[in-house]
Every structure is written in structure tokens, then in C-alpha cells.
Amino acid sequence: MSAELYESASAFDAAPHARRFRGKNKKKRWRRAKDAELAVIRLPLDVHDPGTRHRTEDLYSAMWSVKRALQRDARDAVDAYWAGDVRRATDPQAWRLKLGLSRDGMERRAYRHMENSRHLAHHVTKALVMHQADEVFETSVSRHLFADASGRRHGRPKVGRWWDYTRIPGRARSHTAVRKWETFRLHGTLAGHLDAYRHRTLDRTVTTPEQAAALPPEVRVLEQPHQMPTPARPTGRVTTGEVTAKGTPKTRTATWWDHTGPLAVVFTGGADSSRGDLVLPVRLPSGSGRWPRLVHFLNNPDTWHKIDLVRRRDTSAPGGWAYEAQLMVLAGGYASPATKARRQATAALERAGGIDGNVSNLSVVSFPATFDPADGGVEATRIEPSDEELASLAKARRKERGRRRALDRSRRASNPAQYRPSKRQQACADRRQAAGLPARTVAVPRGARAANKAGIPKQAYRRDTLSAGYQLNRARLAEAAATAAAAKDHRARHIAADITADHGANLVVEDCDIRTWYRRWGKALQATTPGRLIAAIGRECEKAGGRMLRASTFTTKLSQTCFCGATVTKTLADRIHACLSCGLIGDRDTVSGALCAHVRLTDPDDPNTGRLDQAQARHTQILFHEGLQEALSSQPQRGARPARGRTHAAAHTRGHPGRGPLLDAMPPPGTGPTLNETRPARKRHKAHVGATGCTDSTPPRRASSVQTSGGHHSIT
């Protein structure tokens, strides 16, 4: 352990006699109720003013330097903790406290960095530094030292990148002291914002936010300028409502708490800052369709709880970054009247369903909760990407590959000394030298990175010179990835709403580790996104008053079991369930989803307690014989097939032009291995060993949807 770490450890030993940073609260500490709901709303901030943008960038730069220093300290302390075998075996808790591997220890490190760096006091406050230390402890140290509920621990703490630093955590407001926000504060009112920026065509009778929220959709409520003016701090003196002994009213100096105009996020700056408050105007949606949501979140300042300052890449924004304040409120999320009605109908829908997820599709089958045909029939739904979605994804991949090639060419052109010529370029140079021709300068070397004998690059990538075009393309690539992720989340929410509306809010899904799928079929999963879909369905079930349970695949073995109780052994290539005992023939995934509806869990929180109710499954097969057979056998029998023999970059032979890796035709069912079975992740024998034997996969084409009397329908 280094001398600095020993010095730090000695400082923690003297903690009882050291300087006190925080005293005891005079009042009882406020705690949020366990059943209290939290919701977050994003408020875009205007940073077009050069001075405001420069101060905001300085704030991020200062907080990034603090976080980087804390991550390095955490890495060194963790290394020392694992190196001390004797002390760790004797008393691990005392050894952690000795090294400062605690929340209080990380906070003291952050204070020490701030005190030693004189310039940080001009930009940040101790409250911001403290919460940054808490975040580093929770995300790096605690997850590495202690296992989670599943028994897994994260790896060694690492130092992040500047481009990944997007959030500055704020401190929650005090709910025991009036007007006490120690970091970012939201001032103003929604009514004041409406008065300041009301649209010229808005009816004069609309004067309150509630009236604006009641307007028909597509009515313009606000007219905000492109560069919003910065609200001014109130001046003068205001009355306090009290009187003196002589009967004169008491007054005090006006502060930001007296501001009732447009909404703005205010940060007081560092202790040594002489530039005043940092004021960031808030830009609200102009259409009346968004105002019910604004009224829900912003019309009651007593529910405001905490603000985090967040930035995201935006090539069209000044400086390349768009800033927003994420306001956390002590209330539930907003739901439109139509959404509330749909969830009430879902809660009243008494059905029991099961979900079978794999790489190529998601199959959902549900029955009446009483398993009585008189109360309803069998409903089956298959979720898979359409041809349009697959074509759009293929186009996005081509564009992404083009941007990455452009980035590589730009880096090589700006740093030609750090790359070697390719074999073709070297052969051309040798031929010119043999012919006695002058050497030709290679502007863009296409070979490997210049490295030493150990294969380590001679110059780190972060030391390379990057052009303005490189930075612009990199920002566009990051922005496109964020947009695609948001689009996938939006699609998953809509599909989850449709699933719960048809099958109810009580569902059972096989507990599978999707990380295993990504190690083998990463590209195929980008089209289907089964993890997003299952997570979205689970959240929608909870909002509708139900729950999605998870059952272990080892205790249920649904893919190898039939309704009659017989074992139907199938390989990964067999996509059809054909039972020789009862004669049931159906799609493999749909049969597994139907059996999921008959899984019973002794402990709902433990997937290993799930067991298949064979008696109930057999009873269901007898009662729903015709509808069950038709619903399970009408599913399209197609699945993903791994590419063999050649990669996606190989040229197609004449007469077989093909339509790309995502749109190739699928073979008939049962003619080849189909690796889209759900399997839990296997434990690796070594932590550093990567996945081996991975093959590229080709996602399936969308099969035609078939409507049956059993209630089968397909969602794409």
C-alpha cells in the first residue's frame, strides 16, 4: 500500500477526534415512506447564452475531476483491501474502515480533494461533492465488495470516460426546514410561466394551468423565444406577515424564494465564486396535449423533492450538449384518462397467462383464471419484428458501420505516425522501391496500430489528435444510439400495454439469463429486444395491480413437457411440439407459454420454488381440447438460424442475391439447427475467460399472422 493510502488510513483512525463535518439534526430526521411513489420529469434547459453555457461546462469539468479522483482512490483502496489477506480474514469490517471503504470515508476523501484543489471552490459546493462521493461508493465500491440478491458482485472499480459523465447528482430538499435546497433549486411557478410566455392566439379567458390542460389537443399554449431570457432575481423588500412592537409590518430582503415568474433552475455556485448564481431557464412544451402532465408534476411545489443536472449529446445544440433538469417528485407518474381506464379494465380481467421468450419471438398464452371454458377461451399472441422493422434495422446498421468507418479513417488521417501501412500498401511501396521510383507518401495508413513487441500501442488512444469532423461524427453516432434506445423503449411500452390488455396482469415467465443470448445472438436480439419487452410487461402488470412472476427453467422444464404429463424430448432444432402420448401438435414456444400459465410458486420471490401443476394442465387440455389444439398449432413454425460456412460480409453467389443478414429466407421447420432456445447462463470456470464458440445468427422473417377461433393473434 502506498504512502498516500497509509496517510489516508491514519486519518480515518483518528476520525473520533478529527474535524466534524455534519452534526446531529435537532428535529427527527425525515424519511420517505416505504410505499410512497416517486416519479421523474425531464425539464429541458436553455443554455444559448455563452456565459451561462461556459459556467455549466465548467461545473461539469470540475465535478468530473472530483469523480475521477474518487474512482482512482476507490480502485487503490480496493486493491489494498484484497491484498491484506490476514487483516481481511481477521476483521474485514475494521479493515474496510481502516482503508476508508465506507460512505463516510468516500465523503471525507471528496472533501479533502476539494480543499486541496483551490479552483474547485469557484465552481462546486460541498453538498455536490458529498453526493458525488455517495454515488461512487454505491456504484463502484459497494457493488464490488458486497454481492447483490442473486449472489453476483461487480468487478474492480474503474475510472470512467469524460463522454460518459452525464449526470451531476443533486441533494434532496429538506422536508423539515422551509426553503432549504442545498444544490440545484427550481424556482418559479407554472402559472408565472404561462403568464410570461402565453401564445398570441391563446384565448384570453385561459389564465390558469388547469384551464390550459383542459384545452383540446394541438392548441398552442406557449410561445417561447429561441433564446429564452434569464429570469432576474427579485429585488427590494417584501413583508413577512408579522408586525413589530410598534405595529409596523416587518420586511425582509427579497430572494429567489419570492420569484413567481417563469420556471428556472438556480445553482448558487461555489463558496469562492464571484459570478453570482447560475440561472438556467426552463423550456416547457407548447402544445396543450402535454399540459395535463405538466400540471401533474409542476403545479404543486410541495411535492418537488430533488433535481439532478443531466446532459446528453446533441449535435444541433450549442457546444454539442443538451442540458436538462430531472426533477423527482413525491407522487406517482402521470397517466392519461385513457391509460387509467385501460389499466382498470386490465385489473378486472381475470385471466392467468404465461410468457415464453426467445431470440426470435415472444409467445404469450392465457386462460380464464378459473380454467373454465364458460368464462372465456384461449388467447395466444406472438410478438416478432415485421419486415419493415427488420429493413429499418438493417439500414440503421449500414449507416452505423459507415459512420464507424469514417471515424476510423479520420483518426488514421490525423495520426498517420501511429499506424502501419497495410499489406497491400507495403507491397506497393516495395514494388516502387524495386523499380527505382520515388517513395509515395501514404496519407491514410490502413494497417494495424503501431505497437511494441508485447502488442501494446506505443501511444494511447486518448493522446491522439482528433479533428472537428471526427468529434462531430462521434457525437452523431452517440446521438443515434440514444435515439434508437428510446425508440425501442417506446415500442416495448406499447406492446406491453397491448399484451396486458388482452391477457391480464397476472403472468408467469421463465427465469432466463438474457446475457447468455447476447453472447451468442447479439445482432438478432437487437431486432426482437426480448429483455426490454419482458421488463416492460412486468412494469405494466404492476401498474395494473398484478404481477409477473418468474419460474426457474430447471424445476419446470416446460420445453420438454406436454400437457398430458409426458416428456417430449426436443433439441434446439426441433421447433414443433409433437406428443406421441396425447397427439398434441403445436408450436414449441406457444406450448411452453401455455404451460407457464400452469406454474405455481411456493414463494413468489424465489423462482426455484416454481413447479408445473400437471393435474391442472391435463384438466385444461381436456376442457379446452379444440380451442387449445387450434391456438397452439396455428403458430408459424420459423425461427432463427445461425449462419454457417461464410460470414455476412461474404459475397452472394450468382443467382442468390440475397437481401442482407437480417432478411434472408428461413429454412422450413425442422430442417436445421435453430439456436433460439431460452437457457440460463452457465457459470464460467474463470472470471477472465470470454465466451467461446459464438456464431453469428440470422433473425427470422416475419411469418404471416393467422387468426383462429382459439384467439391467436400476432403483434409486430
Instruction: Report the C-alpha gap between 347 and 354 in whole angstroms.
Output: 17
- 515 near 681, Cβ under 8 Å? yes
Give residues with Cβ within 8 angstroms of 359, minimum separation 6.
Answer: 517, 521, 524, 525, 528, 530, 639, 640, 675, 676, 697, 699
Q: Which residue has the cell 424564494?
A: 257
Instruction: Report the C-alpha gap between 239 and 230 in whole angstroms.
Output: 25
Least confident of 120-129, 188-197, 665-674: 665-674
Determine the pLDDT at residue 152: 84
Asked if the model's pLDDT at residue 474 lies above 70, the reply is yes
Q: Which three cell numbers stand for residue 264?
A: 428556472
- Please report which confidence band the pLDDT of residue 572 belongs to, taking 50, 70 and 90 as the band edges: confident
Phi and psi of 323, rounded to 5°?
Answer: -110, 145
Mean pLDDT of 374-394: 89
Mean pLDDT of 537-561: 91
Determine the pLDDT at residue 36: 83
Q: Which residue has the cell 414456444?
A: 589
Give residues with Cβ within 8 angstroms of 512, minimum separation 6.
Answer: 357, 553, 678, 679, 680
What type of residue sits at position 541? C
Instruction: Report the C-alpha gap between 429 and 251 in whole angstroms.
Output: 85
CA distances (Å), origin 471, targets 164, 201, 315, 410, 568: 15, 42, 10, 10, 56
Determine the pLDDT at residue 673: 40
Through-space distance between the first and last CA atoms of the chain, rounded to whole angstroms: 58
Least confident of 14-18, 145-149, 214-218, 482-486: 14-18
- Please report which confidence band the pLDDT of residue 16 belongs to, taking 50, 70 and 90 as the band edges: very low
DSSP per-residue letters across 446-469: -SPBPB-TTS-BSS-GGGS---HH
601-659 pLDDT tens trace: 999 988 999 999 999 999 998 988 888 888 887 654 443 333 333 333 333 334 434 33
Determine the pLDDT at residue 635: 53
DSSP state at residue 258 = G
Give residues with Cβ within 8 angstroms of 333, minimum separation 6.
Answer: 37, 39
Instruction: Report the C-alpha gap between 545 and 342 in whole angstroms.
Output: 12
Determine the pLDDT at residue 700: 37
- 101 near 141, Cβ under 8 Å? yes
Its pTM stands at 0.79
Determine the pLDDT at residue 656: 39
- 597 near 354, Cβ under 8 Å? yes
For strands 278-281 and 547-552, give the pairing: unpaired
Determine the pLDDT at residue 244: 84
427-454 pLDDT tens trace: 999 999 999 999 888 899 999 999 999 9
Mean pLDDT of 485-498: 93
Asked if the model's pLDDT at residue 272 lies above 80, the reply is no
Q: Which three cell numbers stand for residue 488?
A: 425501442
CA torsion, points 470, 476, 480, 483, in degrees to nearest 10? 140
The residues that bridge with 548 in the sheet, in sequence order, are 507
Asked if the model's pLDDT at residue 193 lies above 60, the reply is yes
- 620 near 596, Cβ under 8 Å? no
Kindly report the number of other CB atoms within 10 A of residue 272's CB atom: 11
Mean pLDDT of 352-367: 90
Asked if the model's pLDDT at residue 570 lies above 90, the reply is no
Hey, is 393 helix, strand or coil?
A: helix
Hey, is 707 helix, strand or coil?
A: coil
The upper half-sphere exposure of residue 361, i.e. CA atoms within 13 Å in the direction of its Cβ, equals 30
CA distances (Å), origin 636, targets 44, 363, 381, 509, 633: 46, 11, 12, 21, 8
Asked if the model's pLDDT at residue 17 lies above 80, the reply is no
Hey, is 690 helix, strand or coil?
A: coil
- Please report which confidence band the pLDDT of residue 665 belongs to, taking 50, 70 and 90 as the band edges: very low
Hey, is 666 helix, strand or coil?
A: coil
Determine the pLDDT at residue 298: 94
Asked if the model's pLDDT at residue 339 lies above 80, the reply is yes
Phi and psi of 642, rounded to 5°?
Answer: -70, 145
Q: Which residue has the cell 491484506?
A: 84
Residue 312's closest CA among 123, 475, 131, 532? 475
Asked if the model's pLDDT at residue 702 lies above 60, the reply is no
Strand order, beta sheet including 379-383: 547-552, 506-511, 351-357, 362-368, 379-383, 712-715
Asked if the model's pLDDT at residue 110 lies above 90, the reply is yes
Determine the pLDDT at residue 334: 92
Q: Which three cell numbers stand for residue 420?
A: 502501419
Mean pLDDT of 378-397: 89
Determine the pLDDT at residue 326: 95
- 586 near 710, Cβ under 8 Å? no
Instruction: Report the C-alpha gap between 354 and 348 in whole angstroms.
Output: 18
Asked if the model's pLDDT at residue 211 lies above 70, the reply is yes
Least confident of 1-5, 28-32, 50-54, 332-336: 1-5
The residues that bridge with 324 in the sheet, in sequence order, are 44, 310
134-182 pLDDT tens trace: 999 999 999 999 988 778 889 999 998 998 999 999 988 888 888 888 8
Asked if the model's pLDDT at residue 267 lies above 70, the reply is yes
Q: Which three cell numbers stand for residue 180?
A: 432549504
Hey, is 507 helix, strand or coil?
A: strand
Our CA angle for 579, 584, 585, nearest 5°, is: 90
Mean pLDDT of 198-219: 92
Determine the pLDDT at residue 217: 87
Percent helix / strand / coil, the chain, rounded to 5? 40, 15, 40
- 397 near 628, Cβ under 8 Å? no
Indicate the average pLDDT of the chain.
83
Give residues with Cβ within 8 angstroms of 170, minimum separation 6.
Answer: 128, 131, 183, 184, 306, 307, 308, 309
Instruction: Report the C-alpha gap between 636 and 627 in whole angstroms.
Output: 17
480 CB-contact burial (10 Å; exposed 0-12 / middle 13-18 / buried 19+): middle
Asked if the model's pLDDT at residue 667 lies above 70, the reply is no
Determine the pLDDT at residue 653: 36
